Structure 1
Amino acid sequence: MKAENRLATCASFSAMWDGQPLDRWRAGDGVSAYVGRRFSAHILEQPVAAEALLSDPMANEQGLLARFLVCRPASHVGTRLRMERDALAEAEIARFATRIRSLLSRELPLAENKRTELAPPVLPMSPGARAALVIFACEAETAQAPGGPFVGARAFASKAVEHAARLAAVLTIYADPDAVEAAGETMAGAIEIATFYANEAARLADAAVVPRDLAEAERMRKWLLETWNEPCIAAAVAAQRDPFKLTARTRKALQHLQEYGWVLRQMAKR
């Protein structure tokens, strides 16, 4: 994702997601083309790194981020009080792992006379599933209109229907790898998941456009309202107690609050 490589990287990942043949260029080997490949990515990022990517115009305009299911769970710090293992949760995780192993151990659907090219069968939708997807497509489209809930996340919302279809296929094969179609009930669940991620995309898009210094000023404002009971505050003193623990960041946050009228500057008496 360096500046000089970002465009090509985004285009390559998008092509992988779309199932297009992959080209590889090497000075010594020349050009190689790979077809019938499948690509999957699961990325965990710290908020600072994620916010930089989410606000990257290149990644957004190339449609790369719209191809990911992105979410930012709320922090559980301060509530992690369980010290013993949860037997029911461990049993559920073990059941899931067993199911995944059984699916991965199945014979791969390879193309005829090919050892490295996949040719999986098409999974059609039942009439009920198709009807539910059509309704969802209309809802996702109208939600992108001015004033709609997805106006700030149009890139993802435009692909929400495709996400729902893919999720329905995954859920169907997970339940029954020999299924011949995706059922309406499964599609309803997939649409619920796709809607969740569309809402997350809209929420994170709003957060990504807020500069870091303004976000820290808001964090300081909330901290002052919730914890500070004195009439005056100094950056050096607040830095010993505030969320940042750094005088420079504390002073900058207070300066922003002063600009917007949340705090008043008072000269020290001599």
Structure 2
Amino acid sequence: MQQQTSYIDEELEIQLIGGLLNDNEQYQSVKEVIQPEFFYSKLHQQIYRAIQERLDRGEPVDAVLLSDDLKNTDTGSSNVDLLSHLASLQKNNTTSANAKSYASKLAQHYWLNRKKTAHLNAANGDIDAENKILNGFYDSKLRAISGGAAPTPLVIEDTLPEPYPVESLGVLSKYASKIASTVQAPVEMVANSLLSAASLSVQHIANVDRDGELIPLSLWFFTIADSGDRKSAVDKHCSRAVKERDKQLRTEYQVALTSYKNESDVIQRARQHILNASKKGEAFNVTELAEKLNELEEPKPPKKPNVLTSDFTIEGLAKSFYFGQPSQGLFNNDAGGVFGSYAMNKENSLKTISQLSTIWDGQSLERTRGDEAESMTIENPRLACHLMLQPVVAKTLLSDEILMKQGYLARFLMAEPKHIRGTRFYTDGTELNKVSSKELTELLGKPLKEPYPLDDRGVLTPRELPMSKAAKIKWIGAYNAIESELSDDGELSHVSPIASKQPEQILRIAGVLTLIEDPKAKSINEATMDNAIRLGEWYLQEAVRIDAVSEQSKIDSHCKRLLDWLVANEYREFVDRDLSNSGPSELRKDQSLRQRLLTELVELGYLDLLPKGSIVNGRTIRKTGWKLINN
């Protein structure tokens, strides 16, 4: 969800308070640096105030004493068990040196937020706020904290994802935990691999029935992870059943292909025999001859065996479905090449994402060509997808407005887990390889072996999977909760393409979890819907987090480009007109972006404001100007 201020770090507050509870002596190193109001959380404000009062009186502090002090105080968190919360805080082992560092950072956040608010108030005509800014009030506070250090770095620290709700994966949860601990990979990556493999296993069986509209069970995932984060190892364990099925189909295909070729040869010889007989002068009737030829029914070639595809072009996918299986998976543990391919270049990307979106929706895929033999219609295709991307590729992808506005990225469930490099000490994987891996392969492989439900034209016709009454009530509640935040001032307005798809994603997840547990299940029950909602909420939160980091990354990039331009062109002092006339190209016509960047650079300590009436480049300025700070 969007945060109301730019600099909030409740984990920092937790570490600081925990250190004070664990070691009261740390108070001496922080008491001159912070005050209770510096904490963002009202609960933490009250806790620190109580700590401050006790230690200033020379009295000891611990969780039990504070809980008693605060029992009649409004902490702003009535649903929190205060003693348990304090006890959990006290477990932190923050050193004295770290405590002072945390306190300084917390104070910096407080004054940066105050400065940002002042800028907003000044823009709305608050003279006092403008005077404080121009007089350097907030900058002096920040310099006092940093001791005259350099400005805040442009690249901010990424926020961490919320803990993944592994228990909500149902029958897959124990395998997710086991693979994550044995392979030593982030559990989010493992969960995405398992859910995508499960989606491929069951997407041909059923569609979720939502008020008569049939929702496919195809799930698409992005996992953002660096090289060396064990993407290949995770994929190996999670897609073993799919690869075994692919291998089995290829073996069956070779047998069927041989049979087809033999039957085809026999038919061709019989056809030639009938035609040769007519050439020898035997009496024949044209109609009778045609009937004899028509009786020779041409055999149909067997469907190509591929369950897994790596072809990202629409032409390749269309042919793969037309000549192959109606349910397939696009899995790639290094998908950088996918988005640098022919299919995603400037000329083809719009067509590619439009038709891929059509496949996700479960609609027919039309491919029309001048050559009739090259034209084809693929009805009811099903495609599960898991693309693992390195951060540098993901950064470019997520900043592509076309991919977002066309709703393509909104069809993916995203995760960018925190890496665990440096903690992956050797463990014996024998248990996983001998037991859990076999069980998981059987679990995912059983639905894959179910015959495809095809109509008399060979079109995939999954059955309907309704929600139980209780499950539907839960889903409607989740739907309405998301919808209520999509208004212009709602917390999800900035990610509306993704949030708008989330209720459907929840249904798809619920269907997959239902059928992977029981391929014969008649409906989605309440417990499974609860799990799907929790997973859906996590993926929505993660999308919001990734979007915020991506947006900040874009702003940081623009800020750096502006600073480089100012230095290169020797603009020590300047006004907005200098930027609109000759500044970096992306800023010349975009006043709102210019103002955002200038405000950001003032807040971070790279620029100072110049008041009206100042002399800039020999001219008296009528509006605010800016000065580049030396450091």
Tell me the equivalent position of 1:74: 418
| TM superposition score normalised by structure 2 | 0.34
Which structure 2 residues correspond to residues 9-24 of structure 1 after superposition, within 5 A? Answer: 9-24=352-367
Tell me the equivalent position of 2:515: 173
CA distance in 1: counterparts of 2:490 and 2:422, whole angstroms = 35
Tell me the equivalent position of 1:130: 472
CA distance in 2: counterparts of 1:77 and 1:43, whole angstroms = 21
SS of structure 2 residue aligned to 1:73: coil
Tell me the equivalent position of 2:450: 106
CA distance in 2: counterparts of 1:44 and 1:162, whole angstroms = 23
Change (3 A) 1:153 1:87: farther
Aligned alpha-carbon RMSD (Å): 2.6
Tell me the equivalent position of 2:441: 97
The gaps in structure 1 that reach 5 residues or longer are 219-255
Equivalent of residue 162 in structure 1, options 490, 504, 522:
504
CA distance in 2: counterparts of 1:257 and 1:135, whole angstroms = 42
**TM-aligned CA deviation for residue 88 of structure 1:** 5.0
Which structure 2 residues correspond to residues 40-55 of structure 1 after superposition, within 5 A? Answer: 40-55=384-399
CA distance in 2: counterparts of 1:54 and 1:187, whole angstroms = 29
CA distance in 1: counterparts of 2:345 and 2:506, whole angstroms = 32
Q: Deviations over 1:15-72 (max 9, x none)?
A: 0001110111334334211102111211011111112111111111110111111111
CA distance in 1: counterparts of 2:494 and 2:550, whole angstroms = 11
Runs of 4+ in 1 over 6 A off after TM superposition: 215-218, 256-259
**TM-aligned CA deviation for residue 137 of structure 1:** 0.6
CA distance in 2: counterparts of 1:177 and 1:216, whole angstroms = 51
Change (3 A) 1:215 1:197: farther
Tell me the equivalent position of 2:532: 190
**TM-aligned CA deviation for residue 78 of structure 1:** 1.9
**TM-aligned CA deviation for residue 87 of structure 1:** 4.7
**TM-aligned CA deviation for residue 73 of structure 1:** 0.7
Question: Which amino acid counterpart does residue 2 of structure 1 have in structure 2?
Answer: N
CA distance in 2: counterparts of 1:151 and 1:92, whole angstroms = 42
CA distance in 1: counterparts of 2:601 and 2:401, whole angstroms = 29
Tell me the equivalent position of 1:152: 494
Change (3 A) 1:89 1:262: farther
- The total of aligned residue pairs comes to 226
Change (3 A) 1:257 1:153: closer
SS of structure 2 residue aligned to 1:33: strand
**Is the Cα contact below 8 Å between 1:108 and 1:118 reproduced in 2?**
yes
- Asked if 1:208 is matched to 2:550, the reply is yes
**TM-aligned CA deviation for residue 5 of structure 1:** 1.1
**Is the Cα contact below 8 Å between 1:52 and 1:208 reproduced in 2?**
no
Which structure 2 residues correspond to residues 229-240 of structure 1 after superposition, within 5 A? Answer: none
Change (3 A) 1:147 1:79: farther
CA distance in 2: counterparts of 1:191 and 1:205, whole angstroms = 21
Q: Computing the radius of gyration over CA atoms, which structure comes out larger, 1 or 2? A: 2
**TM-aligned CA deviation for residue 215 of structure 1:** 6.6
- Asked if 1:59 is matched to 2:399, the reply is no
Change (3 A) 1:93 1:192: farther
User: Greater strand share, 1 or 2?
Assistant: 2
Question: Which amino acid counterpart does residue 122 of structure 1 have in structure 2?
Answer: E
CA distance in 2: counterparts of 1:30 and 1:56, whole angstroms = 32
The gaps in structure 2 that reach 5 residues or longer are 1-343, 561-599, 608-628
Q: Deviations over 1:174-219 (max 9, x none)?
A: 010001100011011011111111111111111222346827999x
**Is the Cα contact below 8 Å between 1:149 and 1:202 reproduced in 2?**
no
Question: Which amino acid counterpart does residue 10 of structure 1 have in structure 2?
Answer: I
SS of structure 2 residue aligned to 1:190: helix
Equivalent of residue 199 in structure 1, options 537, 541, 560:
541
SS of structure 2 residue aligned to 1:44: strand
Tell me the equivalent position of 1:7: 350
**Is the Cα contact below 8 Å between 1:129 and 1:184 reproduced in 2?**
yes
**TM-aligned CA deviation for residue 165 of structure 1:** 0.6
| TM superposition score normalised by structure 1 | 0.76
**TM-aligned CA deviation for residue 128 of structure 1:** 0.7
**Is the Cα contact below 8 Å between 1:25 and 1:32 reproduced in 2?**
yes
Same amino acid, percent of matched pairs: 31
**TM-aligned CA deviation for residue 170 of structure 1:** 0.5
Tell me the equivalent position of 2:427: 84
- Asked if 1:36 is matched to 2:380, the reply is yes
